[in-house]
A = this chain, B = another copy of it.
Amino acid sequence: MAKEHPRMSFNERLNELKDDMGDMGNSTLMAYKDAISTLFDYDEELVKKVTETGEKIDKMSYLFENKSMSTIAAEQPVAKDLRFIESSLKVGSHLKRIGNLAVNIAEVARHLKDEDVPEKPMHDIKKMAYLVEKMVSKSLDSFLNENMDLSRELHYDDDVIDDLFDKALDDITKTMFDDKDAINYMVYLIFLARFLERIADRAESIGNRTIFMITCEKP
């Protein structure tokens, strides 16, 4: 809920923006976790919940943007505070996109639910999904607690994801070679791998933003 209160102090406004970022982060992480859960244990209600959370994140991001812009215009914040708001806007965009990708994952789950997906590519996906969850969580921690060590870890994590992504594509391709009938739904698995890789990329970008916010250096 957007609280509009003209006599709110600048610090109160900043704290509210920080709280909003925390809320958006929590919703995003929940959407992601639920989406992954539908993948391994399909649940139609949970798919709907992911879609609803995705829409909620869209709205939160929109309200956050408005609030940030009016805070900048009204308060003319100095360097560090301005950088926080600027970074929050970017992080908000990343979270919104991660939320959308979570919805995409839940949609893939719907396509895969009746297929007997071979173990090998599914194992790759499971490993990716697990690490990507850690990355999203870590990116939120790094940003909200201004922890640059975590931001730097995200680079290494993203390299691991890139390798897992290549391996997943290899295993998916091999499966299609061996089993023609798998070709139809394997396309969804290719997209799934790509969605996870994209979320990892966004998490890394949140880490980079955190470094920029603290050091003023473009990563």
A residues contacting B by CB (< 8 A) are 62, 65, 69, 72-74, 76-77, 82, 86, 89-90, 93, 169, 172-173, 176-177, 180, 183-184, 187, 190-191, 194, 218
Whether B169 and A176, one on each chain, are in contact in the complex, defined by CB atoms closer than 8 angstroms, is no
- Do most interface residues of chain A lie in helix, strand or loop, or is the interface mixed? helix
> What is the oligomeric copy number?
2
Residues of B within 8 A of A72 (CB): 69, 72-73
Instruction: State the CA gap A90–B194 with chains docked (Å).
Output: 24
CB contact between A173 and one of B65, B73, B183, B191 (< 8 Å): that residue? B183
Given contacts A93-B93, A173-B187, A183-B177, contact A77 B73 (CB under 8 A): yes
Residues of B within 8 A of A184 (CB): 173
Min CB distance, A179 to chain B, in Å?
Answer: 11
CB contact between A62 and one of B65, B76, B218 (< 8 Å): that residue? B218
Q: Report 25 cross-chain contacts, Cβ distance below 8 Å, ordered by A residue.
A: A65-B86, A69-B72, A69-B82, A69-B86, A72-B72, A72-B73, A73-B76, A73-B77, A73-B82, A74-B76, A90-B93, A172-B187, A173-B183, A173-B184, A173-B187, A176-B176, A176-B183, A177-B180, A177-B183, A183-B183, A187-B190, A190-B190, A190-B191, A191-B194, A194-B194
